[in-house]
């Protein structure tokens, strides 16, 4: 009588660096994030899924303090993840700072990348400790300075 042996496969949902599709987060992403967060080396980082769909990598880092520069760096027809070091003034005075994580999935993007980014978001998000605000954006209104400022003000009360 032959016995069958089944080798269990690892549950990818429990591995913090892998998405549902097995997409890993390149360590450079985490190192750049820590440089932004702790050393203020960057104002924003844009991440993308590599062309071979195997890992999340850095597409761009920038020291530009212009929020418009950040928004214009988001591709109009493709998805991205991003972190922005958002600084703003409170009505009663005093400056505040929030680390914002963006999941950019424009309405004009194709369905396959939208699904890939949606299923890979947790893989990178869980590796970025200290994020204050998470922003899902599908158009320029949702990523506008005014919209993000409103969210930041709500979390500052």
- pLDDT for res 1: 46
Second-level CATH architecture of 18-155: 3-Layer(aba) Sandwich (3.40)
Q: What is the mean pLDDT of each successive set of 10 residues along the chain, which is 157 residues long? A: 44 44 92 98 98 97 97 98 96 92 98 97 97 97 96 86
The Cα-based distances of 106 to 60, 85, 120 in angstroms read 18, 21, 16
In the chain, what are the domain boundaries? 18-155
Write down the pTM of the prediction: 0.85
The contacts of residue 81 (CB under 8 Å, 6+ apart) are 46, 47, 48, 56, 101, 102, 103, 104, 117, 121, 124, 125
pLDDT score for 20: 53
- What would the two tokens of residue 46 be? 């844009």
Q: How many CA atoms lie within 13 A of 9 on its CB side?
A: 3
């Amino acid at each position: 009588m032959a016995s069958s042996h089944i080798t269990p496969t690892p549950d990818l949902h429990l591995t913090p660096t892998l998405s549902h599709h097995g997409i890993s987060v390149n360590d450079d992403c985490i190192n750049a994030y820590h440089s932004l967060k702790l050393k203020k080396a960057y104002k924003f980082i844009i991440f993308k899924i590599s062309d071979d769909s195997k890992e999340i990598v850095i597409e761009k880092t920038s020291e530009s303090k212009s929020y418009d520069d950040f928004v214009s760096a988001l591709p109009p027809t493709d998805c991205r993840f991003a972190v922005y070091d958002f600084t703003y003034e409170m009505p009663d005075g005093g400056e505040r700072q929030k680390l914002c994580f963006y999941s950019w999935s424009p309405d004009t993007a194709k369905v396959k990348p939208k699904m890939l980014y949606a299923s890979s978001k947790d893989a990178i998000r869980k590796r970025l400790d200290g994020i204050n605000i998470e922003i899902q954006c599908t158009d320029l209104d949702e990523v506008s300075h005014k919209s993000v400022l409103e969210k930041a003000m709500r979390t500052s009360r």
